[in-house]
Amino acid sequence: MAEPRSPAPVPQTPVGIPSEGSMAVEMDPVEYTLRKRLPRKLPKRRNDVYVNMKTDFKAQLARCQKLLDGGGTGGHREICIHGLGLAINRAINIALQLQASSQWTLQIAANTSTVELVDDLEPEDPDEAGEPLTRTRNNSAIHIKVFYPDPQG
């Protein structure tokens, strides 16, 4: 996962065979390897669902449905679906699907937030003089509360 530090003057990672063309390119003196850290984890309740892009969509939907229905133990009245970045779309999708399948008895309340992410930049220079850098960037997140409204309300 080699990605340049900045998009504009992209240093190229030289490859096993030094070819003339690659050497001619103007190189950043120090190259870095980007390593993304995991987003910060918060303690998770049982009714929190973190949506990702790797798991099958159907499986995630079924998991939310199961939490609401409750497999024998009585379901939760509300669940929270969290999505970060690319998964926001999917989180919304899941919430809407849940609502639709419940004949609109479920209600939805969405909150957005910004999550700070940390990237590590490790120097790749031959002299090993470069300090490792850390940079932060922000990403959007969504937290959707899917709940049954109070019966009296």
Those residues whose C-beta lies under 8 Å from the C-beta of residue 15, and which sit 6 or more positions away, are: 22
Burial status of residue 18 (CB atoms within 10 A of its CB: 0-12, 13-18, 19 or more): exposed
128 binds other proteins (CB under 8 A): yes
120 binds other proteins (CB under 8 A): yes
Residue type, 72: G
Which one of 6, 19, 105, 138 is in contact with other proteins (CB under 8 A)?
19
Q: Alpha-carbon distance 107 to 100, whole Å?
A: 10
Q: Mark 23-42 with x for binding to other proteins (rule: CB under 8 A) and - for no binding.
A: --x---------xxxx-xxx
β partners of residue 137:
117
- In this structure, are strands 78-84 and 48-51 parallel, antiparallel, or unpaired? parallel
Residue closer to other proteins by CB (options 121, 146) is: 121
Q: Mark 54-93 with x for binding to other proteins (rule: CB under 8 A) and - for no binding.
A: ----------------------------------------
10 binds other proteins (CB under 8 A): yes
Residue linked to tokens 């995991």: 38
Which one of 6, 114, 136, 152 is in contact with other proteins (CB under 8 A)?
136
